Amino acid sequence: MDLVLFDLDNTLLSGDSDFEWAQFLIDKGVLDRELQEAKNQEFYEHYKAGTLDIHAFLDFQLKPLARHGRAELDAWHVEFMAARIRPMITPLAVELVGRHVSEGALTAMVTATNSFVTGPIAREFGIAHLIATVAAQENGRFTGKPRGQPSFREGKIDRVETWLESLGLWWGSFGRSFFYSDSLNDLPLLAKVSDPVAVDPDETLRRHAATLDWPIISLR
């Protein structure tokens, strides 16, 4: 059996769900455009540059969840999926996931984006497991804080290994391990698997992949 891990933003999606969720809330008037739009763009630029302060970003990203009830948030997410996410899902991405699933691989989406935003997206792709930054809840209401270790950079390795342990597995349980990603931020996990694949990569990852002769593919 193979282990197949997929990054989400700008990998399986031709865009960034984190960024788009904030823009969606801004467009709905839930967040103040003047105050929040520039900050959202600033965080996104830091992410692309590999200089993101994940804790500052999570404070920005998760606080809006704490201001609203779950039923309202869930209704907004249905709109979000239709308006922002499904248009970013390409046939090639669906085909890639489907091929690995049909071959019997253990699959997981491994993303820094929070679990509220990404849970429905993983289900849309038919990916059985989600390893995301956990948006903490108390009595069904979001606290505005993360729970546990963010699924970001080296944290992705720790979170994957904890998940594998919970299944009674480890890296050596698999014939091959794949990770598909676009981002320089994912170099630690890409270096950990047996089969790293750069997907529509940023320039830093593209150079790294070319140097190490990693496959470079496009899903767009």
Digit-coded pLDDT (tens) for 13-64: 999 999 999 999 999 998 888 778 888 888 889 888 889 888 888 888 888 8
Q: For residues 65 and 142, is the Cβ–Cβ distance under 8 A?
A: yes
> What is the β-pairing status of strands 129-138 and 216-217?
unpaired
In this prediction, residues 150-154 reach a mean pLDDT of: 93
Sequence ranges of the domains in the chain? 3-217
pLDDT computed for residue 126 by the predictor: 97
pLDDT computed for residue 186 by the predictor: 97
Q: Which two tokens stand for residue 188?
A: 């630690």
In this prediction, residues 198-211 reach a mean pLDDT of: 97
Catalytic residues: 7, 9
Is the pLDDT at 1 greater than 90? The verdict is yes
Q: For residues 74 and 113, is the Cβ–Cβ distance under 8 A?
A: no
Pick the CATH number of 3-217 from 3.40.50.1970, 3.40.960.10, 3.40.50.1000, 1.10.579.10: 3.40.50.1000
- pTM given for the model: 0.94
Q: Report the distance separating Cα 178 and Cα 185, nearest Å.
A: 16
Q: What is the mean pLDDT of the chain?
A: 95
For the stretch 167-174, contacts whose Cβ atoms lie closer than 8 Å and that sit 24 or more positions apart, written own/partner, are 167/106, 169/106, 171/3, 173/1, 173/3, 174/1, 174/2, 174/3, 174/106
Q: Which two tokens stand for residue 195?
A: 């089969």
Largest CA distance in the chain: 51
